[in-house]
Amino acid sequence: MSLRLRDHMMSAIGDLRFEPIQTRLRAISGGEVVADSTNALVVWEPKRVVPSYAVPVADVQGELAVAPERQPATERPVAVMLGGPPVLDPRTPFSVHTASGTSFDLRTPSGQLDDAVFRLDEPPLEEVVVLDFAGFDTWLEEEQEVVGHPHDPFHRIDVHRSSRHVEVRLGGETLALSTRAHHLSEAMLPDRFYIPRDDVRLDLLSPSPTRTVCAYKGHASYFSFDGSPEGVDIAWTYEDPLHDALDTAGDIAFFSERVDLIVDGVERERPVTPWS
């Protein structure tokens, strides 16, 4: 019997999952190293597609205090990733938990981090604590800063030069037309075409104040197309991408979830993702 690997991986999305990482991990807050571990893990709570870092409790420098009841964080809508089972929107706050455990505040010399620590009840993870990535100022694996969220050891990016005829249309306008895009494939996400700026109708796009960060590609800035209600933040670029996406520097990609993407004369079906 054959098995599609993506289906196998997504079949466990409702479970509590973990994987050890082999690098030294440090979390910094207020200029102080708050966690320093060579025995760290990445942990996915049920329905999470983005992991969190976890370390043995002994590797945390600070005082843990059981968090008081607070106004619960808003759970974002359940989303679907490329036709797979329902998952939590990746932007759902850390304080929304789908596994049993206890939330803690972390008191450090520089202040208190509310709900920044979660201790799971389920073995063999009851001896580690999961940390809120967004609650700390800086994360380092060895001496390399990690941005966006923890790295998933099973996630990868591939970038290839492409000569395929790529056209992007929205609201009756052609926004881009190219035969020299970079094709970027990323695990569990739709493929993207990063198009040279000379092949994009920049006169139809306006810079957006929106900024996002990707753990694998870096900091993105956005463009909007005013000719359609779907056009807000419809495209993005990485001016100074991280190593895995260096070849896409300055190119512009469009959300294929919200544009008409025609590749070699064939219009593609719009994928369904949290960015639809």
pLDDT digits (tens, 9 = 90+) for 120-174: 999 999 999 999 999 999 999 999 999 999 999 998 899 999 999 999 999 999 9
Query: What's the average model confidence in pLDDT over 54-58?
Result: 97
Please determine, for residue 79, whether its predicted confidence score (pLDDT) is greater than 80. Answer: no
Sheet holding 101-108, edge to edge: 17-20, 41-44, 52-56, 128-131, 111-120, 101-108, 63-66
- Let me know the angle formed at the C-alpha of 134 by 212 and 105, rounded to the nearest 5 degrees: 165
Residue 223 DSSP SS3 = strand
Please determine, for residue 76, whether its predicted confidence score (pLDDT) is greater than 90. Answer: no
Distances (CA, A) of 276 to 8, 11, 95, 217, 258: 24, 22, 25, 20, 6
Task: With CA atoms as reference, report the closest residue to 202 among 156, 230, 237.
Answer: 237
CB 266 within 8 A of CB 252: no
Q: What does the alpha-carbon distance between residue 204 and residue 195 come to, in Å, rounded to a whole number?
A: 15
Please determine, for residue 33, whether its predicted confidence score (pLDDT) is greater than 90. Answer: yes
Q: What does the alpha-carbon distance between residue 261 and residue 264 come to, in Å, rounded to a whole number?
A: 10
Percent of the chain residues topping a pLDDT of 70:
95
- Let me know the angle formed at the C-alpha of 211 by 206 and 217, rounded to the nearest 5 degrees: 110
The predicted model scores a pTM of: 0.86
Structure tokens at 270: 């719009």
φ/ψ (deg, to 5) at 152? -90, 120
* Residue length of the chain: 276
Token pair 């099973």 is found at: 154
Q: pLDDT tens for residues 235-274?
A: 999 999 999 999 999 999 999 999 999 999 999 999 888 7
* Residue-wise burial string across 264-273, b where 16 or more C-beta atoms lie within 10 A, e elsewhere: eeeeeeebeb
Residue 42 DSSP SS3 = strand
Mean pLDDT of the chain: 91
| Domains within the chain, CATH numbers bracketed | 5-146 (2.170.150.40), 157-267 (2.170.150.40)
DSSP characters over 54-89:
EEEGGGB-SEEEEPPP-PPPPPPPEEESTT-SEEE-
Quote the pLDDT of residue 83: 60
